[in-house]
Amino acid sequence: MPRQFPKLNISEVDEHVRLLAEKVFAKVLREEDSKDALSLFTVPEDCPIGQKEAKERELQKELAEQQSAETAKRKKSFKMIRSQSLSLQIPSQEWKAPLANPVLSPATPVVPSAFMPVQVPYDVPEFQRVSISGDYCAGVTVDDYEQAAKSLVKALLIREKYSRLAYHRFPRTTSQYLCSMQDEKWKVEDEVYPDFHSPPEENEDPYNLDDAPDNLDYVIKIKGGIPFVYDNKEMMELNEPRSLPYPDLETYTLDLSHVLALIADGPTKTYCHRRLNFLESKFSLHEMLNEMSEFKELKSNPHRDFYNVRKGRQTFHRFDKFNSKYNPVGASELRDLYLKTENYIGGEYFARMVKEVARELEESKYQYTEPRLSIYGRSPDEWLNLAKWFIKHKVYSPNMRWIIQVPRIYDIFRSKNILPSFGKMLENIFVPLFEATINPKDHKELHLFLKYVTGFDSVDDESKHSGHMFSDKSLNPDLWTSEKNPPYSYYLYYMYVNIMLLNNLRRERGMCTFLFRPHCGEAGSITHLVSAFLTADNISHGLLLKKSPVLQYLYYLAQIPIAMSPLSNNSLFLEYSKNPLREFLHKGLHVSLSTDDPMQFHYTKEALMEEYAIAAQVWKLSTCDLCEIARNSVLQSGLSDKEKQKFLGANYCKEGPEGNDIRKTNVAQIRMAFRYETLCNELSFLSDAMRTEEISTLTK
């Protein structure tokens, strides 16, 4: 061992370093006790301005670097060197090629290896990918893994079945994996989409009543809560309805049972819990590694930031009991006076208010809203009155799409003897819709109004107990004559069956379809989220997904849209900082931000912007996060295909980076690729577990 020690003297050393060190030393000495002394060595962590400035500086440096051909070269070389040094870190053994006879697996997904330049079939700037190697599935036994995967796949197939039937949406990627697991070929033609009416052109009259199609002469009858459509009166008398597929009560309760049993299954809980934890950590690693690259992508996207990205929102005219409970003024008469479409001044005040909001939105240009209008099911006239109100007051706005909310308050109407049975309530709600669909000529106002309706909501305080256990033995709606309110799942099943059959009939006629978008999982029983998993296109709130790893993971895999309203929740059920929105977003659930009753829970006139602003502040969401949420909002919304193409890009139906047009959405392609590849990776775990036959072959 050489014991020499080379002495240094000042001339050899960079004088600059010595001076800098001396300055540092002197400064520390002078300010030993002050914060300034430390700030020399630390990175600004708690100071938002410091962080922002540092980020901007970094960006400027990187952008400057991009300009230089010399640096671009060096950068490329570093990348080559890095990929070499990664591959060489594999120790001395021979190089092993992948197995010779690869088994087929879905072709699109991409999880790159650690030491290969990544080549993906879509256009995305280079970024750092997190990958995991070495085991098939962490910390779960083979049996548990197989059992969990199979049950999850079965649950996904159930949702897919209910979604297709109702013209609800189901993610293409998940569908592709499900197909391949069943050895079926996925075809784009088989995809099912809801159909929303495109808004009238500038020169068209939005209130034109003259284009109603002819009468089909079908006859509609709701029996036991299920709508039956007959070709004509004779067929009805013969009791021969048109054959329409729908899930009967027995089928529905059995499907529900499967998911219900699944969410309490130990191995599946463990499996989903682990996967969700992994998703969260993976995102945080992704952010840490690629934050700057995402930021850079957005910055080089000219004339576009969060403020001119389209944002959807859903609003006001909320359900009665809820209103009386939380009415800040405490006077429900005021609410009746101003906010009902049926009060004695013909809903004029309400219409004026709506129109005022609409003008503001139209001016703001980038904000859209999906206000709720109530249909109670007290009488069959409600629809016609609503349609007339809409037309009389000229409430139409290109920045508004209407959603019908049905409060779950049968018990109140029954106790006041307004309704004889739950079946009658369903009839009042749905028969007018079937009639307007079969014979639009005789229901011109409703036919027109329905063009601007995109879905149904089911609303009320979810924490109310029904005391009844839903099953295939539950009385049918015609026999449900007691004053007890039916449980949530019962409401959802009958809403779903009616909407689904209505959609099929409307589709047959080329008319727009409706989505079922219930309030769900804000409070009450977790089983609500199971019912919605089958019946809903998307839900509002979903807070209780926090409590069930299995449901949360299923909502992730099926990319079920969840519209969250942390500020409203804040006032009612959950403290803002405990709201799971940020956690759900990071894991990759399909969340959006919305305002729920903006007149009650917000301080500024711009309730939606207030939700975004506070979310950004409290959770330190990046612009890319905010734009991802805004993009989700548009996807979830009832905007027409044409509008979505305009706001999201022509390929918005494609998933992953291919479906994203950064110039419109301002969501980084890197983020899109991360989400897409991550979903593929999760799904591939399920598809691996399904290859039982291969396993028996491989082990022979």
Active site members: 541
Choose, by CB under 8 A, the member of 147, 227, 255, 679 that binds a copy of itself. Answer: 255
Rounded least distance, CB 425 to a copy of itself, Å? 23
Choose, by CB under 8 A, the member of 47, 114, 334, 650 that binds a copy of itself. Answer: 114
Rounded least distance, CB 671 to a copy of itself, Å? 14
457: nearest Cα among 496, 490, 489, 428: 496
First to last CA, the chain: 58
Closer to a copy of itself by CB, 4 or 203: give it: 4
What is the phi/psi pair of residue 637, to 5°?
Answer: -75, 175
**Which residues in the 431-490 window bind a copy of itself by CB under 8 A?**
465, 467, 469-472
Closer to a copy of itself by CB, 267 or 346: give it: 267
Rounded least distance, CB 527 to a copy of itself, Å? 6
Q: Is 127 in the site for a copy of itself (CB under 8 A)?
A: yes
Closer to a copy of itself by CB, 187 or 303: give it: 187
Tokens (6 digits) for 132: 């995991």
Choose, by CB under 8 A, the member of 34, 67, 92, 417 that binds a copy of itself. Answer: 92
Choose, by CB under 8 A, the member of 231, 291, 342, 610 that binds a copy of itself. Answer: 291
Q: Is 618 in the site for a copy of itself (CB under 8 A)?
A: no
Rounded-to-integer distance, Cα 81 and Cα 496, Å:
58
Rounded least distance, CB 47 to a copy of itself, Å? 14
How far is the CA of 644 from the CAs of 257, 412, 518, 660, 669, in angstroms? Answer: 36, 40, 22, 11, 18
**Which residues in the 181-220 window bind a copy of itself by CB under 8 A?**
189-190, 192
Rounded least distance, CB 29 to a copy of itself, Å? 5
Choose, by CB under 8 A, the member of 34, 41, 344, 575 that binds a copy of itself. Answer: 41
Rounded-to-integer distance, Cα 535 and Cα 495, Å:
9
Coil, strand or helix: which one is 53?
Answer: helix
What is the size of the binding site for a copy of itself (CB under 8 A)?
163
For every residue of 56-70, DSSP letters joined together read: HHHHHHHHHHHH-HH
Coil, strand or helix: which one is 458?
Answer: strand
Q: Is 34 in the site for a copy of itself (CB under 8 A)?
A: no
How far is the CA of 426 from the CAs of 104, 233, 384, in angstroms? Answer: 49, 21, 16
Rounded-to-integer distance, Cα 532 and Cα 168, Å:
12
**Which residues in the 270-289 window bind a copy of itself by CB under 8 A?**
270, 273-274, 277-278, 281-282, 284-285, 288-289
Q: Please choose, out of 245-253, 340-348, 576-584, 658-666, the segment that lies near a copy of itself by the rule CB under 8 A.
A: 245-253
Choose, by CB under 8 A, the member of 36, 71, 578, 650 that binds a copy of itself. Answer: 71
- Find the DSSP H helices in 558-606: 566-572, 581-587, 598-601
**Which residues in the 653-682 window bind a copy of itself by CB under 8 A?**
680-681
Q: Please choose, out of 41-49, 299-307, 371-379, 419-427, the segment that lies near a copy of itself by the rule CB under 8 A.
A: 41-49
Rounded-to-integer distance, Cα 480 and Cα 590, Å:
37
Q: Please choose, out of 111-119, 232-240, 441-449, 535-543, the segment that lies near a copy of itself by the rule CB under 8 A.
A: 111-119
- Residue 32, class by beta-carbon neighbours within 10 Å (0-12 exposed, 13-18 middle, 19+ buried)? exposed
Rounded least distance, CB 16 to a copy of itself, Å? 8
Q: What is the largest CA-CA distance in the chain?
A: 111
**Which residues in the 561-580 window bind a copy of itself by CB under 8 A?**
none
| 181 close to 396: Cβ distance less than 8 angstroms | no
Q: Is 11 in the site for a copy of itself (CB under 8 A)?
A: no
How far is the CA of 299 from the CAs of 4, 84, 443, 658, 675, in angstroms? Answer: 54, 31, 52, 20, 20
CB atoms within 10 A of CB 12: 8
Q: Is 138 in the site for a copy of itself (CB under 8 A)?
A: yes
| 298 close to 309: Cβ distance less than 8 angstroms | no
**Which residues in the 479-538 window bind a copy of itself by CB under 8 A?**
504, 524-527
Q: Is 693 in the site for a copy of itself (CB under 8 A)?
A: no
* β-bridge pairing 219-223 and 370-374: unpaired
Rounded-to-integer distance, Cα 452 and Cα 511, Å:
11
Rounded least distance, CB 261 to a copy of itself, Å? 4
Rounded least distance, CB 452 to a copy of itself, Å? 26
Choose, by CB under 8 A, the member of 290, 405, 623, 678 that binds a copy of itself. Answer: 290
Place of tokens 């070929």: 185
Taking the CA of residue 550 as centre, how many other CA atoms within 13 Å lie in the half-sphere pointing to its CB?
Answer: 26
Q: Is 331 in the site for a copy of itself (CB under 8 A)?
A: no
